[in-house]
Amino acid sequence: MRQTRVVVVGSANMDLVATAPALPRPGETTLGTDFVTVPGGKGANQAIAAARAGAASAFLGAIGSDSFGVTLRARITAAGVDTSRLRTTYGASGVALVMVNAEGENAILVTPGANGSLTALTEDELAAVRDADVLVAQLEIPVDTVTEAATAARAAGTRVVLNAAPAVPLPPELLAAVDLLVVNENEAQTYTGRGRDEPRALLDLVPRAVLTLGAQGAWYGDRDGTDVYVPGVRVDTVDSTAAGDAFTGALAVAWGEGRDLVDAVRWATAAGAACVRRLGASVSLPHRVEIDQLYAPAP
């Protein structure tokens, strides 16, 4: 079977991750227990997640000319992602300050750095989008760039998966190009005012949507009447930082391989569960064999 071609357009950050028994409150200093420096960013994470899940994955993004940028390129490439179109711009790379408590919950502050320079896609970048089976995008880069990529993908028949995070206003042109929207509860609340109590409100925006529910699994619905809750997979949680990225990357791969979307969501849920068992973002993203071990087909 030919590998599914997934192109991810999005952010790359260096994650500075500290762990502590509890997250500090405003004005409070808390002693931590551990510290690691790990490549991350939603775009880079989802590109790596797609590669590890079995896709031919390519990443369109921007890194800085600093030492973080050098490390980011090397690590993303080593994970099996095509970085031949990854831009380097003068200045700082994106950085994420991540704090994780003993229950695996986190608080994250991101400074965009070079990610903000990813504008006006080149013809070579657009050609990669058009040649893909699935385009995956998020909103840690300029929304105009996401709209440009999604519009080009839609015109070429490439499926468009938008992980609409962080929540920002979505242009009508972008929504018109999206095939599948992926959001968490906070993002759903921002976009529809309803959250998990009425997830089908997301279908007023797009034809298909997934609402991720953390350890409780996910909901999938479409305008044809599908309305399904997929239960979570029980694991011991160490760090939930990149679980959503593991989910989105695996979902794109499964859909691109021809699975129906309910089953694709089920497989992606297993990917998210596999991810939270380790500390860090990109280093915790699971390989296909790990996803298959946790995946449970519908009875």
Position 48 scores a pLDDT of: 97
13 among annotated binding-site residues:
yes
- What is the mean pLDDT for each group of 10 consecutive residues in the chain (299 residues)? 92 93 92 90 96 98 98 96 98 93 85 96 98 98 98 98 96 98 96 92 98 94 97 82 92 97 97 82 86 87
CA nearest 289: which of 270, 263, 261? Answer: 270
Q: With helix as H, strand as E and coil as C, how does 237-270 read?
A: CCCCCCHHHHHHHHHHHHHHCCCCHHHHHHHHHH
| Cβ atoms within 10 Å of 178's Cβ, excluding its own | 25
**Residue with tokens 């369109």, as numbered in its chain:** 60
85 among annotated binding-site residues:
no
175 among annotated binding-site residues:
no
**266 token code pair:** 């089920």
pTM value > 0.95: no
CA diameter of the chain = 55
Check 82, 133, 179, 245 and give the catalytic one. Answer: 245
In what side-by-side order are the strands of the sheet with 34-40?
Answer: 34-40, 13-19, 94-100, 106-111
241 among annotated binding-site residues:
yes
What separation in angstroms does the CA of 7 have from each of 153, 242, 275?
A: 10, 18, 21
Domain 5-294 has CATH 1.10.1740.10: no
User: Would residue 133 show up in a list of annotated catalytic residues for this protein?
Assistant: no
The domain spans of the chain are 5-294
Within 8 A by CB and 6+ apart from 226, the residues are 220, 261, 262
Q: Is 227 exposed, middle or buried (0-12, 13-18, 19+ CB in 10 A)?
A: exposed
| Cβ atoms within 10 Å of 162's Cβ, excluding its own | 26
Position 46 scores a pLDDT of: 97
The answer to whether 60 and 294 have CB atoms below 8 angstroms apart is no
- Paired strand residues for 249: none
106 among annotated binding-site residues:
no
DSSP element (H, E) containing 292: helix 288-294
**Bond prior to 24 in cis (omega within 30° of 0):** no
Position 196 scores a pLDDT of: 85
115 among annotated binding-site residues:
no
DSSP element (H, E) containing 137: strand 134-137
42 among annotated binding-site residues:
yes
140 among annotated binding-site residues:
yes
The answer to whether 245 and 81 have CB atoms below 8 angstroms apart is no
Residues written for the chain: 299
Position 108 scores a pLDDT of: 84
